[in-house]
Amino acid sequence: MACPTTFRFTFWKLVFAFLMAAGLYATLIRFTQGLGASTHLSDQFPWGIWISFDVLCGVMLAAGGFTLTAAVHILNIKRLDSIIRPTILTAFLGYILVCAALMYDLGKPYNIWHPLIMRNPHSVMFEVAYCVMLYTSVLALEFLPVVLERFHLEKPLQVMRAILIPLVICGVILSTLHQSSLGTLYLIVPEKLHPFWYSPLLPVFFFLSAIAVGLAMTIFESSMSSKHFGFELELPVLEELGRVLLVVLAVYAILRAEDLARRGALKLAFRPGYETYLFWVEVFLAIILPLILLAQPRIRSSPNGLYFSAVSVVLGFITNRMNVSITGFEGSTGVHYFPQWTELAVSGMIIALGFGLFGLAVKYLPIFPGEELAREQRLEPESEMAATRVAEHAGD
Amino acid sequence: VLRRRFPAAVTPAITLAITLLPHSAQAPLEKISGRCEKDGPEEYFMSKALLYDSTLCIGCKQCEQACASQNGLAYDDRIAAEQYQSAHKLTCVVTRGDKFMRRLCMNCNDPSCASVCPVGALEKTRLGPVTYDPSKCMGCRYCMVACPFSVPKYEWGKLFPKVQKCTLCPDRVAQGKQTACAEVCPTGATKFGERDQLIAEAGQRLRDHPGQYVDHIYGLAEVGGTSVLLLSAVPFETFGYRSDISPDPLPLLTYRVLSQIPDFVALGGMVLGGVWWITHRREQVALREGREANENKRGKR
């Protein structure tokens, strides 16, 4: 399975190399000249895209991990078992990269361990710090069996199997706390955050949207993996996910609309302005478009329809996180923030690393287990495509 | 199957939603104030404060200079001309026409910054000052985001930056001295004293000269009260002081959620464990019934 191929330059490898080079150069600037020289952050705008994108979105995009482990191990939905490993891998990589991004953003990264001994339980950031630490550990343990399997270590595998359920429960609780507490972070700034995004229900919105994005990312990833690595798409499974995604989005939409109406922010939604446009971009991509698409069984059962809906949800909620943490503050601070190239380069490098590490892990570890077997079983005359793909795959 | 079972996963969301609905479980006030749970709010009536009466201010900026030298910061004509707080200027005298107004850290009674600091680098002390310990700080800058007055500033130009803000000269105050700015003020516009006495005095001035002032002591009620009290002849918004500041301490907003965590963890663990037990029990029962049914069939044959 793990047979290194001869090295070839492809388009994506060039992109990867470019992003890595730019990111490393930006890293050099960040750690030799400080935050002032490497970012467009200011006293008015202390948090930029390293928090908005790398941390808030990073954690959100990793939400598939807890959503799917809960579905498979707690709710005992066995059909989803086949996609659980790539999802845990994504979550694990996501959290590692969030930690890496934090090292860039913290003014004194060498003090990152301070919350371990200097505790302020009144601080949401303290809770976030603990949840990130603990949940990254949980994810490492949840991912460990894949590595153990690769090296045929049976004894530790048995231990891991024995502690799996408590581990999963810990993971789900930590994730719930953590996903919602990223919203709680902003509860303390009622005067500063635009009424489109400030709400006492922020923690609930962050949590629900994390579930939605977790599901959407799982669909996205499975589609990408099937294209890129030549595995057959688990269409019925993804269709189920799409159906659940529809329900979660509907609940989110109702809560969000009700909240906006109750706080009197709905009338602002039709007043032209910078915030209004971005608000509608978010609402259209995250709620309206995927709800319309996923509500139609025909689209929900087509690979492209599912893929497109998932991408829309992911982009929509990325916009949401950016709006909460950047757009929503521009009015009250009177400052327009746009990241410096170094900030974009670091974020680009982190995304590239995510894709790169995912590719490596899929290549060298049993991430899609049972695929070989399942594929052979499924080889029926009508699936010529799958057969050729398997042949290709076996060839390299 | 998935459709019917999945709502169980939304249970945490519903639990959260219920706990967060407005007016639910108001946390007691004394639990909120950053790191000093022991001090009830009544403690602050004994605390020290500054009263700045802008009608007495002549804009000489000696407070700026005294502040700079007290905090070991450079001060020259260029810095004197800056009309905003920054990492190298912890207080500034803002000029609007012929009116002056100081801007400095309000040293809140229930400071957002101390409440949000994950490592407790910022602390409200019993005497009034909100202090900062740079050796604890890891530079997350949540204090800067959270401060309702946007006071904490950052040393962006440094490789290992600190947060900078007025800390109400904690060393001087601990020695029973005035803050540097109050000591140097030639007109008594900035006055140092006990907070409750200063409040009484400010009230007296408002009553004695009603036409001279806006009828408001800024800092008396804002975010639960601050250790800096301001009087002004023109609306405070003129100088960038927000008028929409909540009279309740803002840390309440996050504490209301954070205080649910222990219950949530216990409840969440139980619910998830319960759901796991039910779903797997169902499977075991189905398995056993299937086996028994098979055996029965075989037995009949």
Convert A322-365 into a string of H (helix), E (strand) and C (coil).
Answer: HHHHHHHHHHHHCCCCCCCHHHHHHHHHHHHHHHHHHHHHHHHC
Compare all CA atoms of chain B with the CA of A68 and give the residue at the minimum distance.
Answer: B9
Exposure string for A167-194, b = 16+ CB within 10 A, e = fewer:
bbbbbbbbbbbbbbbbbbbbbbbbebbb
Question: How much is the pLDDT for B3?
Answer: 41
Q: State how far residue A198 is from chain B, nearest Cα, in angstroms.
A: 12
Confidence category of residue A7, pLDDT binned at 50, 70, 90: low
Q: State how far residue A51 is from chain B, nearest Cα, in angstroms.
A: 10
From A141-145, A322-326, A392-396, B257-261, the region with the lowest mean pLDDT: A392-396
Residues linked to residue B190 through DSSP beta bridges, in sequence order: B52
CA distances from B216 to A58, B80, B232, B233 (A): 46, 29, 8, 10
Question: How much is the pLDDT for A396?
Answer: 39
Contact A190, A91 (CB under 8 A): no
Confidence category of residue B47, pLDDT binned at 50, 70, 90: confident
Question: How much is the pLDDT for A374?
Answer: 46
From A179-183, A353-357, B17-21, the region with the lowest mean pLDDT: B17-21
Out of B116, B136, B273, closest to residue A118 by CB = B136
Confidence category of residue B296, pLDDT binned at 50, 70, 90: confident
Averaged over B14-23, what is the pLDDT? 53
Question: How much is the pLDDT for A387?
Answer: 43
Contact A71, B272 (CB under 8 A): no
Q: Do B138 and A109 touch (CB under 8 A)?
A: yes
From A276-280, B34-38, B135-139, B268-272, the region with the lowest mean pLDDT: B34-38
From A88-92, A164-168, A383-387, B82-86, the region with the lowest mean pLDDT: A383-387
Q: Do B246 and A125 touch (CB under 8 A)?
A: no
Q: What is the mean pLDDT of chain A?
A: 87
Cα-only R_g, chain A:
22
pLDDT digits (tens, 9 = 90+) for B68-108: 999 999 999 999 999 889 999 999 999 988 899 999 999 99
Out of A109, A114, A188, closest to residue B254 by CB = A188
Out of A35, A177, A204, closest to residue B13 by CB = A204
Q: Which residue has the tokens 């140092």?
A: B192
Query: Cα separation of A175 and B265, whole Å?
Result: 11
Q: Do A333 and B150 touch (CB under 8 A)?
A: yes
Q: B115: which chain A residues are within 8 Å (Cβ-Cβ)?
A: 120, 122-123, 188
B36 reaches A (C-beta below 8 A): no
Contact B134, B120 (CB under 8 A): no
Contact B59, B99 (CB under 8 A): no
Q: State how far residue B42 is from chain A, nearest Cα, in angstroms.
A: 20
pLDDT digits (tens, 9 = 90+) for A91-148: 999 999 999 999 999 999 999 999 999 988 899 999 999 999 999 999 999 999 988 9
Question: How much is the pLDDT for B172?
Answer: 92
- The token duo for B87 is 């990492």
- pLDDT above 80 (res A369): no
A388 reaches B (C-beta below 8 A): no
Write out residues 232-261 of A within 8 Å (CB-CB) of B.
Answer: 240, 243-244, 247-248, 251, 255
Dihedral through CA A350, CA A354, CA A359, CA A363, nearest 10?
A: 110
- pLDDT above 70 (res B226): yes
A203 reaches B (C-beta below 8 A): yes
Query: Cα separation of A324 and A333, whole Å?
Result: 14
Q: A164: which chain B residues are within 8 Å (Cβ-Cβ)?
A: none
A116 reaches B (C-beta below 8 A): no
Out of A114, A187, A201, closest to residue B254 by CB = A187
Mutate to test the interface with B, among A35, A40, A114, A188 (most CBs of B within 10 A): A188
- pLDDT above 50 (res B25): no
- pLDDT above 60 (res B117): yes
Q: Do B280 and A76 touch (CB under 8 A)?
A: yes
- pLDDT above 50 (res B30): no
pTM of the model: 0.85
Distance from the Cα of residue B59 to its chain's centroid: 29
Q: What is the ipTM of this complex?
A: 0.86
Question: How much is the pLDDT for B70?
Answer: 94
Out of B2, B87, B121, closest to residue A240 by CB = B2
Out of A44, A173, A207, closest to residue B13 by CB = A207
Closest alpha carbon to A323 in A266, A282, A263:
A282
From A192-201, A364-373, B99-108, the region with the lowest mean pLDDT: A364-373
Question: How much is the pLDDT for B18?
Answer: 55
Query: Cα separation of A131 and A89, whole Å?
Result: 18
Question: How much is the pLDDT for A267?
Answer: 87
Q: Do A111 and B6 touch (CB under 8 A)?
A: no
Residue B34 class from Cβ within 10 Å (0-12 exposed, 13-18 middle, 19+ buried)? buried
Averaged over A141-160, what is the pLDDT? 88
B29 reaches A (C-beta below 8 A): no
Q: Do B34 and A122 touch (CB under 8 A)?
A: yes
Exposure string for A253-288, b = 16+ CB within 10 A, e = fewer:
bebbeebbeeeebeebeeeeeebeebbebbbebbbe
Confidence category of residue B12, pLDDT binned at 50, 70, 90: low
Question: How much is the pLDDT for B179?
Answer: 94
Query: Cα separation of A262 and A256, whole Å?
Result: 10
Percentage of residues of chain B with pLDDT beyond 70: 84
Q: Which residue has the tokens 């529809």?
A: A246
Q: What are phi and psi of B108, to 5 degrees?
A: -55, 155
Compare all CA atoms of chain B with the CA of A333 and give the residue at the minimum distance.
Answer: B150
Question: How much is the pLDDT for A286?
Answer: 94
Other C-beta atoms lying within 10 Å of the C-beta of residue B220: 16
For Cα atoms A91, A93, A98, give the angle at the middle one, nearest 5 degrees.
90
Q: What is the mean pLDDT of chain B?
A: 84
Question: How much is the pLDDT for B10?
Answer: 55
Closest alpha carbon to B257 in A211, A47, A128:
A128
Write out residues 194-253 of B within 8 Å (CB-CB) of A.
Answer: 242, 244-246, 250-251, 253
DSSP A106: S
- pLDDT above 90 (res A9): no
Q: State how far residue B211 is from chain A, nearest Cα, in angstroms.
A: 30
Averaged over A67-90, what is the pLDDT? 87
Q: Do A107 and B161 touch (CB under 8 A)?
A: yes
Question: How much is the pLDDT for B46?
Answer: 64
Contact B209, B182 (CB under 8 A): no
Confidence category of residue A252, pLDDT binned at 50, 70, 90: very high
Query: Cα separation of B218 and B75, whole Å?
Result: 28
Residues linked to residue B89 through DSSP beta bridges, in sequence order: B86
Exposure string for B173-196, b = 16+ CB within 10 A, e = fewer:
beeeebbbbbbbbeeebbbbeebe
Q: State how far residue B5 is from chain A, nearest Cα, in angstroms.
A: 7
For Cα atoms A267, A271, A277, give the angle at the middle one, nearest 5 degrees.
110
Confidence category of residue B17, pLDDT binned at 50, 70, 90: low
Q: A65: which chain B residues are within 8 Å (Cβ-Cβ)?
A: none
Query: Cα separation of B116 and B255, whole Å?
Result: 10
Contact A172, A69 (CB under 8 A): yes
Confidence category of residue A332, pLDDT binned at 50, 70, 90: confident
Question: How much is the pLDDT for A114?
Answer: 92
Other C-beta atoms lying within 10 Å of the C-beta of residue B207: 10
